[in-house]
Amino acid sequence: MTRDPSAAQAAASGTPDPARERALGGVYAFSAYFLWGFLPLYFLLLLPVGPFELVAWRILLSLVFCIILLTVLRGWGRLVAIITQPRLLMWTALAGGLIYINWQVFILAALTGHIIETSLGYFMNPIVTVLLGVFILRERLRLTQWLALGLAAAAVIVIVIGYGAFPWIALSLAFSFGLYGFVKKRIGPSVDAVSGLTLESAWLVPVASVLLIVVASTTGLEMGQNGPLHTLLLSLVGVVTAIPLLLFAAGARRSSLTTMGLLQFVAPILQFIIGAWLLGEEMSPARWIGFALVWLALTILSVDSIRHARKARGVSDVGELV
């Protein structure tokens, strides 16, 4: 088997192989979306914790987990280097604000029986992400990809009409996480995954503190009030939050926005299955038609990616899918 010359040159120079980095980015991103697909079930296990208290613990415990990681991985030097760069620091603040909106809306939806609508939001998210790549970063799409995105857009319209109400949950999730991915791409390799999440969580500590104070003074905090197993599960929310975000950050730095947009179908498919079949949320005919269009769009994207990968490499290698 002939060795890839670019890979050999990269190995000789000590620089990362671009093809290998892209493949790793795809694996990281897929893993993140796969874990996010099952996240609603974990949050349901944490009831009767309310959505605002739960988000506050997500922020604070994610920060604790990241501090432990920084210490174990000896990453404090990288964090200090980022803090001394105001531009990067402001990007992490923006990322923190966007991820807070995403967390709050997602948990509110998951705990109030709207998991299918979160699925819609993350089906819409690839459209937002890919369009950001096209119109801001000038990434190019092939005709078949435009066709698939057009079908996805039509699906969103059908589903929105089927709701009979403004789908604020879906739209908030789509735009907040689409913009979050764009910010992470703009930051690029200048901010490693652990340092980035540490700073994003640190920016949100005042928000978490206010949330806990308000909840404590109104309905009361649930932490430690529902038995040891429940307390343990709630204590692990920082780990459960941080791991997919770290995987996502590692993937976003290595993959194009277009690739990230295509892989984002993984999470909403799993959330749809959980909402529609496991938890029995209502599926109207309009919703079924809309989701069928989305699945058709996903099929077109997958077939196009396989063909493009084979044409570009001249072998039956579907690695470009990820």
Write out pLDDT tens, residues 121-133: 888 776 777 777 7
Residues 129 and 110: their CA atoms lie apart, in Å, by 23
Binned at pLDDT 50, 70 and 90, residue 107 comes out as: very high
CB 19 within 8 Å of CB 6: yes
pLDDT in tens, 213-240: 999 999 999 999 999 999 999 999 999 9
Residue 56 maps to a domain = yes
State the DSSP code for 321.
G
Write the Ramachandran bin of 15: left for phi over 0, alpha for psi from -120 to 50, otherwise beta.
beta
Range of the domain at 123: 46-321
Residue 174 maps to a domain = yes
Strongest mean pLDDT among 9-13, 85-89, 290-294: 85-89
Average the pLDDT over 311-316 and give the result: 55
Q: What is the pLDDT of residue 258?
A: 64
Residues 18 and 22: their CA atoms lie apart, in Å, by 6
Q: What is the pLDDT of residue 320?
A: 40
Residue 4 maps to a domain = no
Residue 10 maps to a domain = no
Residue 32 maps to a domain = no
Q: What is the pLDDT of residue 318?
A: 40
- Give the other-Cβ count within 10 Å of 112's Cβ: 11
Residue 304 maps to a domain = yes
Length of the chain in residues, anyone?
322
Q: How far is CA 175 from CA 168, 172, 179, 302, in A?
A: 11, 6, 6, 24
What b-and-e string marks burial along 295-319, b requiring 16 or more CB atoms within 10 Å of the CB? bbbbebbeebbeebbeeeeeeeeee
pLDDT in tens, 151-176: 877 877 887 777 666 778 988 998 89
Q: What is the pLDDT of residue 310?
A: 64
Task: Give the least confident one: 32-46, 98-112, 152-166.
Answer: 152-166
Q: Please give the model's pTM, rounded to 2 decimal places.
A: 0.81
The number of domains in the chain is 1
What whole-number percentage of the chain has pLDDT above 90? 42
Residue 230 maps to a domain = yes
Task: Give the least confident one: 13-27, 55-69, 267-281.
Answer: 13-27
Residue 20 maps to a domain = no
Show the DSSP H helices in 14-85 as ranges.
18-37, 39-45, 51-72, 76-83
